[in-house]
Amino acid sequence: MWVMPSVPRCWAAHGVPLETVLRAYRLGGQVTFEALRSAARGAEEPGDAEVLLEVAGSVWQVNDLQCAALAESYRTEERRLAGIEDQARQQVLDGLLGGRGGDPVFVPSASELLALPLEGRLFVAVPPPDASGGPTVRGPGPRLLKRGVRSVWGRRSGAQVGVMALGSRRLAEVLGWLEELAEGPVGVSAVVEGAGEVAVAWRLADTAARTLPRVVTIDDRLPEALLSSSPKIAGRLVTQSLGRLLELPEDERSVLLDTLAAFLAADGSPTRATDELYCHRNTVMHRLRRIGQVTGRSVGDPRSRLLWQLALLGTEHRRPAAS
């Protein structure tokens, strides 16, 4: 009655539940015990009866050892199969994100293995890793499935990545749930139609993930996406637009950047900027003249204001510092 390791591995591979397997073994132990006890009752010699009863009594001890060994072997095989399944799922996901979504042969098999409908409305989410390289969204697949959202998750370029099927749901609704799960920023693509657009969606989500510390769609951060996609151009834009302002002493630089941010946020109105800065309008006007002097640009020039706005995005100096 000893358990051969290949037996529980075979049952695990065929998906037979462990509870069912253990129940069968315990039933076998019970049948063996009852048979030995019945034989002991019918034994003609007293010595034979004692031996049979002693053997019957040890059946449960042996059965417990068998069940423990079986369960361990079964779980080992489950872990092995799960690892193989995870690897296969990751390979298929890599293919989808890498551009194979337009392959009519690849898509049906990918949809079946990923358990994800790849026709209709889809979007991609990219939560960057935390400081230690770990995931910032834990168990997203099962938790979203409870809300009726099918998704598949893996890793790409060192970050988590998830592809979600929207169906008839609104994107904003699903983003709200995703934000509840996230412990850090999450970049989200625009909604795309079908598997053929998933690779583009991943690139958009990956770009969005690097622009703001919250759940954000690429459409919300298009200027930041452009800047982050071209760091050399972004750096030159900051230097050319702000000029000598960046070389000023820290205190003066910070005050002038705060003033510029408030001025731009107020649509170029010095009067409205005073409400943000808590200072007199004349003070704001003096600072704006100083900004024009050190940057070589005019506060009344629409193109200068556009360049300043982009430059502030590039330096992440968007709002006045809290007092």
Instruction: Give me the tens of pLDDT residue by residue for the chain, a chain 323 residues long.
Output: 445 556 666 766 667 777 777 788 778 777 777 777 777 676 666 666 676 667 666 777 777 777 787 787 777 776 675 666 788 889 999 999 999 999 999 999 899 888 899 999 999 999 988 888 888 898 898 899 888 899 999 999 889 999 999 988 999 999 999 989 988 889 899 899 999 999 999 988 888 887 665 666 777 767 767 776 677 777 888 888 888 998 999 889 889 998 998 898 888 888 888 888 888 989 999 999 999 999 999 988 888 888 888 888 777 654 444 44
Q: For residues 213 and 122, state if they share a domain.
A: yes
CB under 8 Å to 126, separation ≥6 — which residues? 159, 160, 161, 162, 186, 187, 188, 202, 205, 206, 208, 209
Q: How many CB atoms lie within 10 A of CB 145?
A: 12
Is 299 part of a structural domain of the chain? Answer: yes
CATH (domain of 260): 1.10.10.2840
Note whether residue 97 is domain-resident.
no
- 225 is a domain residue: no
Q: Please say which residue of 201, 220, 239 terminates a domain.
A: 220
Ramachandran quadrant class, 142 (left: phi over 0; alpha: psi -120 to 50; beta: rest): alpha
> How many structural domains is the chain composed of?
3
Clarify whether residues 215 and 246 are in a common domain.
Answer: no
Q: Are residues 198 and 249 in the same domain?
A: no
Using the CB atoms, write b or e for 230-245: b if 16+ within 10 Å. eeeebeebbeebbbeb
Together in a domain, 139 and 214: yes
Q: Are residues 148 and 197 in the same domain?
A: yes
Same domain, 49 and 120: no
Q: Is residue 321 in some structural domain? A: no
The reply to whether 108 falls in a domain is no
Q: Is residue 109 part of a domain?
A: no
Domain extent, residue 126, equals 115-220
